[in-house]
Amino acid sequence: MRALRWHGTRTAAVADDIAMPRIEEPRDAVVRVVRSAICGTDLHPFRGEIDAFTPGTVTGHEFTGVVEEAGPEARGLRPGDRVVASDIIACGHCRSCRRGWHYQCDRVGLFGYSTVVGTRAYDGGHSEYVRVPFADTVLFPIPDDVGDERALFIGDVLATGYACAVGAEVRPGATVAVVGCGPVGLLALEAAWVLGAARVLAIDPLESRRKLAAERGACPVPATPDVDQQVADLTDGRGTDAVLEAVGTDAALLTALDVVRPRGTVCAVGAHASEAMPLPTRLAFAKEITLRFAVGDPISDFEPLMNLVRAGRVDPTFLISHRMPLAEAAEGFRLFDSGEASKVVLIP
């Protein structure tokens, strides 16, 4: 079968001679992929930023498809079922899973991400077929009246954006700032509207991204050194009630802490990786800020998210700038890496 494999920094190639995945454990399923997407998270190994990434990995953790084969204990799944996968692999049975904390699962994993998350590597969705472990927990049915592309992002970026808005305690009437208007930030913005935000300020250094946010009803704010002053001017000097941080750098988090109002809440869903950062605790204490980190949980939040998508209250397909055959996946990475594409969907 055909799949994209990562071989090293900015080196990924499609091959046609990759072994078909098969059922290895009773709760496995094998899914024939219908749509997959390239995520910002995939750019970290692509750019060579993760030393431990294993060459030969089939990447991709956002995908939909059709169940080809289901193991004897993959309850509720049958060949022919249309499904969307959670990016997070979780057992569904351990203490953390029972609490609905799937990223804290004892056996957590991430499709197509080597052993960066958890201890086991699983090949991903930039492929014609994928083996899905714990399939009765990890896969969710797509209703007949919902197309694959509308369902696709529930498995990752929509769930992450939604967790960000919920984590920042966006309330009806709130003024919200989104820091970073990539796919996750834009879907955090959509989630803020769903939760009743009255106003959203969209902070990003790139004009193209600010334009996308403005098209979704946000007030664009350039991420310049005086961004805190700009936000102050736009909020009668108060700052915003909630800040949704979707970048994952120290600078973005410092901006979030700067622009939030006293007693406001910051939720960070950018993939932070600093061992230490200069947290301005004097400011955080004086403003009595609540700071929360979240990863996003498509397994726990599938139902509310599918309801929003099905009802048309959120249509994440606006993100998609490029649709390409899987055979051209390496070019898709190049376009996404260079910023020419805002979101690439691959079609096997």
- What is the contact surface with Zn ion in residues (CB under 5 A)? 39, 41, 90-91, 94, 97, 105, 156
Strand runs (DSSP E) across 215-327, as ranges? 219-222, 240-245, 260-268, 290-293, 322-325
Question: Measured from the CB atom, is 10 or 95 closer to Zn ion?
Answer: 95
Question: Measured from the CB atom, is 117 or 170 closer to Zn ion?
Answer: 117
User: Least CB distance from residue 156 to Zn ion, whole Å?
Assistant: 4
| Cα–Cα distance for residue pair 176/166, rounded to 1 Å | 12
Give strand pairing partners of 139. Answer: 85
Question: Measured from the CB atom, is 160 or 255 closer to Zn ion?
Answer: 160
First to last CA, the chain: 10
Question: Measured from the CB atom, is 1 or 94 closer to Zn ion?
Answer: 94
Question: Measured from the CB atom, is 264 or 270 closer to Zn ion?
Answer: 270
| Cα–Cα distance for residue pair 70/25, rounded to 1 Å | 10
Read off the tokens for 37. 């997407």
Given a contact cutoff of 8 angstroms between Cβ atoms, the answer to whether 32 and 68 are in contact is: yes
Q: Report residue 229: phi and psi, to 5°.
A: -70, -40
User: Least CB distance from residue 13 to Zn ion, whole Å?
Assistant: 21
User: Least CB distance from residue 43 to Zn ion, whole Å?
Assistant: 10
User: Least CB distance from residue 85 to Zn ion, whole Å?
Assistant: 12
Given a contact cutoff of 8 angstroms between Cβ atoms, the answer to whether 104 and 96 are in contact is: yes
User: Least CB distance from residue 100 to Zn ion, whole Å?
Assistant: 10
Read off the tokens for 5. 């494999």
